[in-house]
Amino acid sequence: LLGASPQKSLAGKRVIVTSGPTHEPIDPVRYLANRSSGKQGHAIAAAAAAAGADVTLVSGPVSIADPAGVRTVHVETAQQMLAAVEEALPVDIAVCAAAVADWRPDSEGGQKMKKDGSGAAPDLRLVENPDILLSLSRHHTLRPRLVVGFAAETENVIEHARAKLERKGCDLIVANDVSQATGIMGGDRNTVHLVAAGSVEDWAEMGKADVATRLVDRVAEMLVAK
């Protein structure tokens, strides 16, 4: 039909994307964090919205703007990220692109820690954070039909991604080799490998927006095939 808009591949679907780092407070002025610009996760949220999905982006602290056409929920910590994700369920698709801090200080002191002049450093006790991807994959009642995780690796990328796919119980792992120049965190380009049960796709280096668009296309296909 002349002038008809192309069929949107995720029309009517609900999608959650996690993005950015988490900040885990040590005291009121200090935190533990991972490196993450949020660029890839935010681009995926924007691409899913462009494909017609109803998108909730749960973002840790980032310096980039909220994508247009997406419901963005701002959080600081992994615990808050998990709560915001659970709040957004049920969804058809979850994409966990956030670089969640694996551990948090076990108690946030109410006051700023002060040097005592002795040269001694404080002992930071850490406890493990909830695994958001794992809790979505293993959700008893509201498991999204497709759960996608990321894995940033510096060696044996495919092998580690396969192990992660299994351990996390997700449907797809987007693995990126952060030892390559293009994988350098905070950059605008990415080289990824899509690892599913019994298949690997190696994608050429491309911009993060292109990775996002292609990933959304692949995920839409997987949803149809499921």
Residue 133 binds which of ligand CTP, Ca ion, none (CB < 5-8 A, kind-dependent): ligand CTP
Q: Which of 144, 137, 150 is nearest to 56 (CA)?
A: 144
Active site residue 34: yes
- Judge contact between 182 and 191, C-beta under 8 A: yes
Annotated binding site, which residues? 102, 112, 130-133, 150, 164, 168
For ligand CTP, give the closer residue by CB, 53 or 151. Answer: 151
Q: At its nearest, how many Å lie between ligand CTP and the CB of residue 155?
A: 12
Residue 58 binds which of Ca ion, ligand CTP, none (CB < 5-8 A, kind-dependent): none
Q: Which residues bind Ca ion (CB under 5 A)?
A: 102
Q: Which of 98, 105, 99 is nearest to 128 (CA)?
A: 105
Q: How far is CA 139 from the centre of its chain?
A: 17
Measured CA to CA, the distance from residue 33 to residue 28 in angstroms comes to 14
Q: Which of 96, 192, 194, 220 binds ligand CTP (CB under 6 A)?
A: 96
For ligand CTP, give the closer residue by CB, 133 or 192. Answer: 133
Annotated binding site for CTP, which residues? 102, 112, 130-133, 150, 164, 168
Q: Which of 38, 149, 190, 211 binds ligand CTP (CB under 6 A)?
A: 149
Site string for ligand CTP, 54-83 (x = CB under 6 A): ------------------------x-----
Query: Considering only 25-33, 92-100, 206-214, 218-226, which stretch makes contact with ligand CTP by CB under 6 A?
Result: 92-100
For Ca ion, give the closer residue by CB, 70 or 157. Answer: 157
Q: Which of 27, 102, 205, 210 binds ligand CTP (CB under 6 A)?
A: 102
End-to-end CA distance of the chain: 30
Strand-pairing partners, residue 128, are: 103
- Judge contact between 92 and 55, C-beta under 8 A: no
Site string for ligand CTP, 167-206 (x = CB under 6 A): ----------------------------------------
| Main-chain dihedrals φ then ψ at residue 201, nearest 5 degrees | -115, 125
Residues that are catalytic: 34
